[in-house]
Each structure stands twice: as C-alpha cells, then as structure tokens.
Amino acid sequence: MVTVPTPAGTPTARDSGRTAQRRAAAASPAGEPGRPGRASGGAAAAARRETIAGYGFLAPWLVGFFGLTVGPMAVSLYLAFTRYDIFNPPEWVGFGNFVRMFTDDPVFLRSARVTLEYVIIGTPVKLAAALAVALLLNSITHGSGFFRSAFYTPSLIGASVSVAIVWRAMFAGDGPVDSSLQVLGVELGGWVGDVDLAIPMMIILVVWQFGAPMVIFLAGLKQVPAELYEAAQVDGAGPVHRFWKVTVPMLSPVIFFNLLLETIHAFQVFGSAFIISNGSGAPGGRLNFITLYMYKRGFADMQMGYAAAIAWVVLVVVAIIAAIMFRTARSWVYYAGDNR
C-alpha cells in the first residue's frame, strides 16, 4: 500500500478535528459543566461575594472609626486654630492659641512640668514594682493564680471615682495613713493639702495599679528558656548576674512594650486628680495635670479652641516621645534571631 504524503500547509483530519473542538469550546455558552469559561466566571463571582462580605463585616468598625475617632480629631484640629466658646461660631485666629500657650500662659507651663514629673517618676517605679512581683510569682508553684488575680484587681478599679474618693480620705490629715505614720513618730499633716506630698500621693496610687504590666511581665518570664539559666549557672553566674545577663535581655521586648504603654497612659491621668483636688488642681497647682488644665479651659472657661490646641500639643509631645523610644529601642531591645 502506497502512502501519499500530505502537502505542507494542508490540514490533516486530526488537525481539523482539534480545530473543530476549539471552536466548539469557544462558542459554547459559559457555565456548562467542564467548560473553562464557566469555571473562571464562577471563581470571580465568588471572590466578589467574599470581598463584599468582608467589607460588610468591617463596616461597623469603619463607621465607628471615622465617625468617633477621625471625625472628632479633624474637628478638634480645626478648632485648635479658632476662638470658640460653643455659643458663638468659631473665629479663625491661626496660630494664636499656640503662641499664647507658650508665651503668655504660665499655668500651662506649670501643668506641663507637673505632668512630666509625674510621668518620669511614676512610670519607672510602677514598672519596677510590676517586674519585682512578676519575678516572685514566677518562682512559686502553688497559689500563683490567686496572687496573680489579687495583684491584677487594682488595675481594673484604680481609675474609678470610688477609689479616688477613698484615696483622698486615706491621705487626708485625719486619715488612716497619717494616723499610722503618727504612731511611728512621723508628722506630715495630710498629703492632700501638702504641696510637697501631692505628687508622691498620686505616684503611690498609680504604683498600686501595677497589676496589668505585672501580668505581661509574668507572661514574658514564662517564655524565657530554662536552658539559658542552667547554662549561666554552670558558668558560675549568680542570681544577680543571671538577672542582668539572661532575664533582662530576654525580657527586653516586654519591658519596651510596658514602658511605651505606661508612658502614654501616664499622660492621660485625669479622673483621680480631678476627684482628689475637687477639680481645682490644688494644692498649689501640684495636681493640675495637663489633662485637668485642658478640661478646665474647655468646660469651665468655655475656651474650646484653646483646649483643642492644648490637646494637639499633648498628642504631638507623646508622639515624639514614642518615636524617640522606638528609635533608641534598637540599642537595647533584643528579639529572637537578632544577630547583634
């Protein structure tokens, strides 16, 4: 049998069959089983439905974020450049509020100094107490859950009005704190009305609320590998050396987190100072923290524009402090896998 070769360029029966299949697949309506057009179209529709559902779940948070956070911040930024007393339309004054703040308002400058003193002293003392208690709880095996709950409770109620009222009564001239000190021969005459003792009283209050950072420290201590302590002990390191060379470096991310969080929180002190000083910031302005001064300017003096300017100055100062902390953290905060 003689096979006649097909001339070049002439389609064979096999090629014709394949071409017919391609044309039929292209002409077939999308959506039939086994057809690629239907599969890709269905996947795209499912992706669109998932996207719409995702935005639907995000919608309540987005409404709250823009309506209760971004919106009020934008309004307060505008009011910071105006003279506004709620009852009359805002009057644009440009940077007048900020110039007045730093050149013609000594009360603002005193409030800023008092606030910085409270933050600089109170925050490290609070974190030191939290770390010390966390180390103790990490070393015991029985009853740690009870003590953890007991120490954490003050951080839940410490900012309440009732605690501030009790604190004012405790540190009054005839309160139990002064009475106990008198038994020991120490005469102070009341902390609430003393210019020198007002800030220490507030620092004692904030240190008493060390429960939240203590729990975070304790969680960090649980993550430190025991092999590191064993190796250090084999090398002859004592408890103090192990603390500084093992515990502190391994705990440095947690220390940084607590330091940042508690610093920001300290700038927000308001309720306890308001209750203890009856809203006046006395004695001698020692409890007139920047938040309390901002409140009095806005709601007592009806200078809402000026109060908004103070709020933005505080925000910028806190942001700068946080940026400095993040920048300097590179030299002392060590994370897993760090090659330093």
Question: What is the reported pTM?
Answer: 0.81
Domain-embedded: residue 253: yes
pLDDT at 299 over 90: yes
Is the same domain home to 231 and 179? yes
Nearest CA-CA partner of 251 in 269, 270, 231, 228: 228
pLDDT at 27 over 90: no
Domain-embedded: residue 291: yes
Q: Tell me which range, 4-13, 273-282, 316-325, is most confidently predicted by mean pLDDT.
A: 316-325
pLDDT of residue 18: 52
Domain that holds residue 324: 96-331
Is the same domain home to 75 and 200? no
Q: pLDDT category, 312, cuts 50, 70, 90?
A: very high
Cα distance between residue 205 and residue 125, in whole Å: 11
pLDDT at 28 over 50: no
pLDDT tens track for 88-123: 999 999 999 999 999 999 999 999 999 999 999 999
pLDDT of residue 168: 92
Domain-embedded: residue 91: no
pLDDT at 4 over 50: no
Which own/partner contact pairs does 281-285 have at CB distance under 8 Å and 24+ positions apart?
281/111, 282/193, 283/192, 283/193, 283/194, 283/195, 283/198, 284/195, 284/198, 285/107, 285/110, 285/111, 285/114
pLDDT of residue 311: 96
What token pair was written down for 176? 């139990």
Is the same domain home to 241 and 154? yes
**Are 150 and 135 within 8 A, CB to CB?**
no
Read off the amino acid at residue 173.
Answer: G
pLDDT of residue 2: 45
pLDDT of residue 30: 46
Q: pLDDT category, 39, cuts 50, 70, 90?
A: low
Is the same domain home to 138 and 107? yes
Q: Which of 4-8, 51-55, 85-89, 144-148 has the lowest mean pLDDT?
A: 4-8
Is the same domain home to 60 and 102? no
User: Following DSSP, what letter does each residue of 23-48 receive, concatenated?
Assistant: HHHHHSPTTSTT-HHHHHHHHHHHHH
Is the same domain home to 69 and 106? no
Q: Which of 9 and 173 is assigned the larger pLDDT? A: 173
Is the same domain home to 189 and 63? no
pLDDT of residue 339: 65
Domain-embedded: residue 5: no
